[in-house]
Each structure stands twice: as C-alpha cells, then as structure tokens.
Amino acid sequence: MQKRIYWFALTLLMVSALQVKAQYAKQDSTYKKYFVGSTLLMLGNLIPNDPNAPEFIQLNIGYRITPKDVVFLEFKTSKFTWPLGIPWGKSFDAPGENYPGFVRQKVIGLAYNRFWWKGLYTGVHAMNAFQKYIDEDDKKIANGYTLFMTYRLGYQVKLFKNRFFIEPSIGLTHWPVQTNTNSNHR
C-alpha cells in the first residue's frame, strides 16, 4: 500500500511541476503543444483491503496537431481477476465468472480527439493489450493479446487556468482482435 501511495504522489508531483495546458487551449503565447495526463481511476488503487484492486496505472502523453486535433499515447498496466466487460451487478464477482488467478496486462494505446464546439469532442482509442494469465499458484498459464477499440463522445472541462482538465464521456467499445483470451482460462 505504501508503494502505491508513493507512486501516486510521485506522479502527481511530476505532473503538477509541468507547465501544461488543457488540450483545447487557444493559440497564444502560453499555448503548449504537448501535454501529460492520467485518469482519476487510479484513485481506486488507494481503496484499503480491496481483494479486487486493479493495481491500475495510466500515463498519457499528448500532442496538439491543431487546437482542434489532438493525438496521444496511452501507457497502462493493470491486474484483474474477472473478464473485462462484466457489468457491476449480479454477474460481477459471481461464482464461475472470475479467473482462477488473475490477468496482468500492459497496454500501449494510440488515441485521437477532435474538438467540435467549445469543449465538445469525439475520440477514437486503439489500445494494444498484452496479457499474461496467472493461475492460483502464481504460475503463468497463457499469454494473450487484445486490440481494444473505444469510440467516445465527451466534453472537456478546463480547470485551474487551463492547467488541468477533466473529460466526462460516454463510450462504445469492442474487441476486433483477440488472441488466446477466451474463457478457457477460467
């Protein structure tokens, strides 16, 4: 737990020291072409005594092609004990739905956002997920790969004089490519 808090604090410190602006900043003397970001979902790592803690880390590095066109790389790692896509409710954590162990994945993604009007944007994310299936005895039982696509419609809210932003959005996802990731690992 202390290690997680240390890494989270270090990430916040590094990000807060950068002179970055929100993605949709106007072209002026303080306009920055590059930005660094992450997600509030990393706060889930701080939930004490959670056996399903995702051990989730994300770092985004972006570039503004124009004030309306943004591309960025996403670097993620996570650990999970259930197949992705199971909604919270009766099926979540139900007997037979979890893996007999866990999956550790490392993700490299490429994303593009197009800003249309004020903070309204659409985006597409292509994420390459390299997965390692680990059994209950901490032994690797398989490797897998998933191309995970997300299509977003959202709105960017700028905060603290454009130094930070949040982007609530709705998304549609699918997995057009999956290799060695089916339910035979359950």
What residue spans define the domains of the chain?
2-185
Question: Do residues 44 and 56 touch, judged by C-beta distance below 8 A?
Answer: yes
- Helix and strand counts by DSSP (H, E) for the chain: 1, 9
Question: Do residues 158 and 129 touch, judged by C-beta distance below 8 A?
Answer: no
Pairing of strands 57-66, 69-80: antiparallel
Strand partners for 117 = 120
pLDDT score, position 89: 61
Strands (E), 50-100: 57-66, 69-80
Q: Which residues of the chain have pLDDT under 70?
A: 1-31, 45, 51-54, 82-99, 181-186
Chain position carrying tokens 């919270």: 88
pLDDT 10s digits, 75-126: 999 887 766 655 556 665 666 666 677 888 899 999 999 999 988 999 999 9
Helix (H, G, I), strand (E, B) or coil at 10: helix
For every residue of 153-169, DSSP letters joined together read: EEE-EEETTTTEEE--E
